[in-house]
């Protein structure tokens, strides 16, 4: 018998006991007996909800501790690659417009925007990409 079946059997026994007590005590105690039974049902429901919430909270804490993030459909390699290709294709007319109208400063602004958009996309799809790391490297003093 599983835990759920055992709890259901216990609840059935409680209901049977409540109905038996109602037969023995009479209708004047009916509301008190029903209230008592409903209180036990509420406690069971509250316990089940609390266990479920604790389990979900523990799972979330484990994901945070592992540095995991929830998988997203947009995080596939193909979509990241496609984003990079599209940004490079759009860089051609943006470079022409920026360079033609604003000369070198316009070209720098256009490419700054392209690099910025790609950096934001990279940071979104690769958490911790731009965080500093503390490593055992002799050359650097990186922090995480």
pLDDT at residue 69 in the model = 54
CB 114 within 8 A of CB 94: yes
User: What CA dihedral angle connects 112, 96, 124 and 135, to 10 degrees?
Assistant: -50
pLDDT at residue 72 in the model = 56
pLDDT at residue 119 in the model = 87
pTM of model > 0.85: no
What span, in angstroms and rounded, lies between the C-alpha atoms of 114 and 8? 61
Give residue limits of the domains in the chain: 3-66, 73-125
pLDDT per position as a tens digit, 32-71: 888 888 888 888 888 889 999 999 999 888 888 877 555 5
pLDDT at residue 144 in the model = 42
For helices 30-66 and 3-25, the axis angle rounded to 10 degrees is 160
C-alpha dist (Å) from residue 52 to 39, 46, 82, 126: 20, 10, 40, 30
Residues 6+ apart with CB under 8 A from 76: none
Question: How many CB atoms sit inside 10 A of residue 110's CB?
Answer: 21
Question: How many CB atoms sit inside 10 A of residue 117's CB?
Answer: 13
């Amino acid at each position: 018998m599983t835990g759920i079946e055992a709890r259901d059997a216990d609840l059935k026994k409680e209901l049977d006991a409540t109905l038996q007590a109602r037969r023995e005590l009479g209708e004047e105690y009916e509301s008190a007996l029903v209230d008592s039974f409903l209180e036990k049902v509420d406690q069971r429901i509250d316990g089940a909800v609390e266990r479920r919430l604790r389990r979900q909270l523990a799972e979330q804490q484990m994901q945070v501790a592992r540095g995991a993030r929830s998988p997203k459909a947009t995080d596939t390699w193909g979509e990241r690659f496609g984003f990079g290709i599209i940004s490079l294709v759009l860089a051609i007319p943006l470079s022409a417009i920026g360079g033609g109208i604003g000369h070198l400063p316009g070209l720098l602004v256009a490419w700054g925007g392209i690099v910025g958009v790609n950096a934001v996309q990279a940071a979104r799809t690769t958490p911790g990409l731009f965080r500093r790391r503390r490593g055992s490297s002799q050359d650097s003093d990186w922090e995480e």
